[in-house]
Amino acid sequence: MKKLFLFILILGFCLPVISAEYDENSKLSPARQMQRSFEEQDRICKEIASNFRMDPRFSAYVRNLCNLYTVDRERTITNLFPTQKRQYDDDDNSRIQTAKYIIAKDTMQINYYRQLTDQYCKNRISKKDPQACDRLEDIFESYDANDFEVED
């Protein structure tokens, strides 16, 4: 009975700490914010490729950009920042710095997609789907970089 009471007591103290770390809306979880930022960037990239599907060359180019960015992002994390094990052991601040850098990188990539599509729309209006450029604002309007800020 004592062991059960101790187990419940320990569980009662540990659960709030665990749930605060993994709360998906929490600013306390830099890893979660990084993941949400990547998912949003990836969603926008794939929607752009889908939006221009009537121009297969440009659509394939954008899809390839999505894949290349994903690889570049992962390599940036592994090469510029400490490994996950060292991050947690040595310095909790490095997780926050990693998240800030990667979220800024994702935001810059989304801005690049906007610049690329604006340039495409200025120079090459598709005759098969002239409304493709009009639909771009719907794709970009949902993104707000302030949703992914990580607190120190």
Contacts of 1 (CB under 8 A, 6+ apart): none
Average pLDDT over every residue of 115-142? 81
What local confidence, expressed as pLDDT, does residue 95 receive? 82
- 81 in a structural domain: yes
Exposed e or buried b for every residue in 38-75, given b needs 16+ CB within 10 A?
Answer: bebbbebbebbbebbbebeebbeebbebbeebeeebee
- 9 in a structural domain: no
Sign of the Cα torsion 96, 98, 99, 101 reads positive
Residue 151's pLDDT band, with cuts at 50, 70 and 90, is: low
Q: How far apart are the first and last CA of the chain?
A: 43
How does pLDDT run across 100-128, given as a tens digit for each residue?
999 999 999 999 999 999 898 888 766 66
Confirm if 41 and 106 have CB atoms less than 8 A apart.
Answer: yes
- 137 in a structural domain: yes
- 3 in a structural domain: no
Which pTM was predicted? 0.72
For the residues of 68-113, what is the DSSP string, one character each?
Answer: HHHHHHHHHHHHHS--HHHHHHH-HHHHHHHHHHHHHHHHHHHHHH
- 8 in a structural domain: no
Contacts of 129 (CB under 8 A, 6+ apart): 52, 53, 54, 55
How does pLDDT run across 1-56, given as a tens digit for each residue?
776 666 676 777 766 655 555 555 555 588 898 999 999 999 999 999 999 998 89
- 6 in a structural domain: no
Higher pLDDT, 90 or 124: 124
Domain count for the chain: 1
Rounded to a whole number of angstroms, the CA Rg of the chain reads 21
- Tokens 């909790």 map to which residue? 92
d(CA 56, CA 120): 14
- 129 in a structural domain: yes
- 79 in a structural domain: yes
> What is the span of the domain harbouring residue 131?
29-148
